């Protein structure tokens, strides 16, 4: 039987993270369309593979949701570090433009956050904001210009939206009376 760990001071149980597939860099993420260049030994119809089938996934989501446990879904995608790779190796030019479609999600009025997935990429919040605003790859290509967001939207994705996703928007995420006063002043 599963039980939740009680929150204690600065240690918080953040919910359940279900791993459904691998990484696009390793060509193991499960895609709706085939990889541009499948791994050696795979056919041109290769799309990666899921860890669980849909019925198994539904079972776990239903189980955790019915217990009011937060379910976290994580998607690997980063325009600066991996954008060029996705253009040339995994997705191709058109599909790669839709990596981390933040403007699309913003237009749908969904609250999203951005994070570094450290140690996969460095934990640099300012750089995360820059990449969300500019969507520039290492080679200097703008990848999906229509998915750029404003600096303010990106800042919210690192602060109040992230706090909201952890049900902590009442104690952190914005400079407000009676909230934690963790902040950085930039010049």
Q: How is the chain split into domains, by residue range?
A: 1-76, 92-187
Percent of the chain whose pLDDT exceeds 70: 93
Where does 64-185 show beta strands of DSSP type E? 71-72
Q: What is the tens place of the pLDDT at every residue in 128-173?
A: 999 999 999 999 999 999 999 999 999 999 999 999 988 889 999 9
Instruction: Mean pLDDT check: name the lowest of 6-20, 33-47, 76-90, 163-177.
Output: 6-20
SS3 of residue 82 by DSSP: helix
Distance between CA atoms of residues 112 and 127, nearest Å: 17
Instruction: Let me know: does 24 contact 36? Beta carbons within 8 Å.
Output: no
86 phi and psi angles, rounded to 5 deg: -65, -35
**Are 69 and 16 spatial neighbours (Cβ–Cβ below 8 Å)?**
yes
The average confidence (pLDDT) of the chain is 88
B/e letters for 139-175, b = 16+ CB within 10 Å, e = fewer, are eebebbeebbbeeebbbbbbbbbbbbbbeebeebbee
| 46 touches 74 (CB < 8 A) | no
**Its pTM surpasses 0.95:** no
18 touches 73 (CB < 8 A): yes
Instruction: Give the largest Cα separation in the chain, rounded.
Output: 59
Looking at residue 62, its pLDDT comes to 94
The number of residues in the chain equals 187
Whole-number Å distance between alpha carbons of 23 and 35: 12
């Amino acid at each position: 039987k599963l039980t939740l760990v009680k929150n204690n001071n600065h240690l918080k149980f953040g919910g359940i993270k279900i791993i459904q597939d691998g990484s696009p860099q390793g060509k193991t993420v499960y895609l709706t369309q085939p990889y541009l260049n499948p791994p050696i030994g795979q056919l041109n119809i290769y799309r990666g593979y899921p860890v669980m089938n849909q019925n198994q996934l539904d079972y776990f989501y239903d189980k955790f949701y019915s217990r009011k446990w937060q379910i976290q879904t994580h998607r690997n995608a980063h325009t600066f570090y991996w954008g060029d790779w996705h253009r040339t190796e995994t997705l191709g030019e058109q599909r790669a433009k839709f990596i981390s479609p933040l403007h699309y999600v913003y237009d749908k009025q969904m609250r999203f956050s951005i994070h570094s997935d450290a140690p996969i990429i460095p934990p640099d919040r300012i750089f995360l904001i820059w990449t969300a605003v500019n969507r520039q790859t290492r080679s200097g290509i703008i990848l999906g210009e229509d998915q750029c967001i404003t600096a303010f939207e990106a800042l919210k994705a690192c602060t109040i939206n992230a706090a909201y996703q952890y049900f902590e928007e009442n104690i952190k995420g914005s400079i407000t009376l009676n909230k934690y006063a963790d902040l950085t002043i930039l010049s």
